[in-house]
Amino acid sequence: MKLMGDSTMMHIRRGLGVAAATTTLIGLLLPAQGASATVPAGCAGSDNTTTKTTSLTADCVLTGTWVVDDGWTIDGNGFTISAAGVSGPMITNGPGTGSTPATMTVGHATIDATGAGKGILFDGARGRVNGVTINGGQYGVEIDNTVGASFVATDPTDQVRVQSRSVISGYQDAAVHVTGGMRFTVIGSRIGKPATGSGQADGVFVEGLAHGAITENRIKLSGAEPASRPDTFRAGVRISRTLRVEVKRNVFTGADADFGVSVDNPGGLPPKTTAAVDCNLFRRSNPSGSDPFGVAVGQWSTGRNTNVVLTNATFEGKWKHDTGVVGATSVTAGATNVHDGHCPPDAPGHLRANGGNHKIKVTWRGADAPPYAPLTEYKVKAKAKGHHAITKKVGPKATSAVLKGLKNNRSYVVTVTAKSNGGKASATARARTGR
């Protein structure tokens, strides 16, 4: 790893004089030979050169930016990383090899970015933010490509994912900011209220030809009255001058929030900013109706500049769904949908059926469902041609079941159906019972 102050970088030497793969670092991060800056104190942990993982063993106070070597992981082990006088990002990646993107993972840590510019910065890098809590900073996570790394458009791993119940709140401008043509996913996370007064403060802000997905998150908005123009209102998701962005299966809540989703393309570049907004719940908690749009979907600069496809939306509370004028700009705020949020779960994955003596054991991976329409049960069925089906119902957290009372030496079609109040989805497999 490296630590970078305002003007100097320092390197951790891997396994200094130690034959084993793990080097314990207690109280400080060691500088490389030739480094000439004060060694930051306050961090304790160990490096595993086999897994390329740095594991913290105590809370850590950074006095400079922690620059993570290409391919390495920070495992916070539940400890808190805070900063003293760090004006830039607290954690960022080192360069990749040539134009190849670097790789960095940060997991299982609490990052106190109060007073810092950013919590985590990915610059020309792919990687993961796993189960990290970030509070404060201009941006919680920023994803950019100022170094000009070359990404493979057809490679799904060439992106940054914020995932695994990460929590970001208290930010000044945005919890997650994506730009520089980067691909990203924000999934299964919580985005809380920003710590700012009037002006712009978005949950996820996507711009600069970036593209990706925002799915299965809980996004809580703050009020900023009144909305005036695209660069001053607040939104749970703000999309501006991007390629395609999918916003699916999220729950947006707020009081006098301006918009749940805002889509804009000032200047008409690229030719059209496209957003697919599907299966979201927009819940307005303020019954006063003082905000004309509540937490609806705002489409600015309509026509050739933006294209918002809104499907399967559920709106709760007072909100306005037709066209209005905000700051002399006509805004289309999303119409009601005939499906009204009836969003079924995904089908169970990795279905396996193994036959035995008068029985079949069935296993599967749990089905994903919108957070506002959770699974209610699984129905497991085995059916042989010309015979009655044997069925069994299990709870929504089950991932296996055994069907008994079957005839031996027969081929069965096994179906597992995930059910919720939004619908159902099934997967099938085949199995043969014993002789």
Amino acid (one-letter) located at 72: W
Q: Is 162 in contact with 189 (CB distance < 8 Å)?
A: yes
Shared domain for 246 and 371, answered yes or no, is no
The dihedral region occupied by 180, where left means phi > 0, alpha psi between -120 and 50, and beta the remainder, is left
Residue type, position 353, single letter: A
Same domain, yes or no: 294 and 367? no
d(CA 418, CA 420): 7
Give domain status of residue 57, yes or no: yes
Looking at residue 317, what is its pLDDT? 65
Using DSSP bridges, classify how beta strands 314-316 and 323-326 pair: parallel, antiparallel or unpaired. Answer: unpaired
> Any idea which residue has 């700051």 for tokens?
327
Tell me: do 296 and 389 sit in the same domain. no
Predicted confidence at residue 320, as pLDDT, reads 52
The residue to which tokens 């996004």 are assigned = 219
Question: How many CA atoms, within 13 angstroms, populate the side-chain half-sphere of residue 328?
Answer: 0
341 within domain boundaries: no
The single-letter code of the amino acid at 422 is G
Residue 206 β-bridge partners: 178, 239
Same domain, 381 and 324: no
**Position 337 in a domain:** no
Total domains present in the chain:
2
- Is the same domain home to 361 and 312? no
Q: Has residue 343 been placed in a domain? A: no
What CA–CA distances, in Å, run from 236 to 86, 200, 269, 281, 346?
28, 11, 22, 12, 25
pLDDT of residue 7: 35
Q: What is the DSSP letter of 372?
A: T
How remote is the C-alpha of 375 from its chain's centroid? 21
Rg for the chain (alpha carbons), in Å? 25
How many other CB atoms sit within 10 Å of the CB of residue 259?
Answer: 32
344 inside domain: no
Instruction: Quickly list DSSP for 209-270.
Output: T-EEEEES-EEE----SSP-STTTS-EEEEEES-S-EEEES-EEEESS-SEEEEEE-GGG-S
Task: Identify residue 358 by its one-letter amino acid code.
Answer: H
| Span between the terminal Cα atoms of the chain, in Å | 60
Q: Examine the fold and report which residue of 277, 298, 332 is the final residue of a domain before the chain moves on.
A: 332
* Contact assessment for residue 424 and residue 345, using Cβ atoms and an 8 Å cutoff: yes
Residues 318 and 385 in one domain: no
What's the one-letter identity of residue 385?
A: K
Contact present, 274 and 244 (Cβ < 8 Å): yes
20 shares a domain with 150: yes
User: What are the structure tokens assigned to 191, written together?
Assistant: 């985005």
Alpha-carbon distances, residue 334 vs 184, 202, 337, 398 (angstroms): 25, 19, 9, 37
Token pair of 89 as six digits:
């990002």
CA angle 337, 341, 343 (to 5 degrees): 125
Examine residue 108 and state whether it is found in any structural domain, yes or no: yes
Q: Does residue 125 sit in the same domain as residue 245? A: yes
Q: Is 127 helix (H, G, I), strand (E, B) or coil?
A: strand
In a domain, residue 258? The reply is yes
Dihedrals phi, psi of 303, to nearest 5 degrees: 90, -130
Structure tokens at 38: 């004060």
Query: How many whole angstroms separate alpha carbon 144 and alpha carbon 63?
Result: 23
Classify each residue of 358-374 as buried b or exposed e, where b means 16 or more C-beta atoms within 10 Å of its C-beta: ebbbbbbebbbbbebbe
Please report, for the chain, how many H helices and E strands are present, in that order.
0, 42
Predicted local confidence at residue 335, as pLDDT: 46
Q: What is the dihedral of CA 97, 98, 99, 101, to 10 degrees?
A: 10
Q: What is the pTM of this model?
A: 0.81
Identify the CA nearest to 403 among candidates 354, 360, 357.
360
Domain that holds residue 324: 2-332
Quick one: which of 317, 318, 370 has its CA closest to 339? Answer: 370
Q: Are residues 355 and 308 in the same domain?
A: no
Q: Using the 3D structure, point to which of 332, 367, 400 is the last residue of a domain.
A: 332
Distance CA 147, CA 100 (A): 10
CATH number of the domain encompassing residue 368: 2.60.40.10
Q: Are residues 317 and 357 in the same domain?
A: no
Residues 125, 240 within the same domain: yes
pLDDT along the chain (435 residues), means of 10: 42 33 39 30 82 91 90 94 89 94 97 92 98 95 97 92 95 94 96 71 92 93 55 78 92 74 79 87 64 61 76 68 49 49 86 96 93 90 94 97 95 97 93 91
Q: Do residues 256 and 366 share a domain?
A: no
Residue type, 86: V
- Residue where a domain stops, chosen among 302, 332, 362: 332
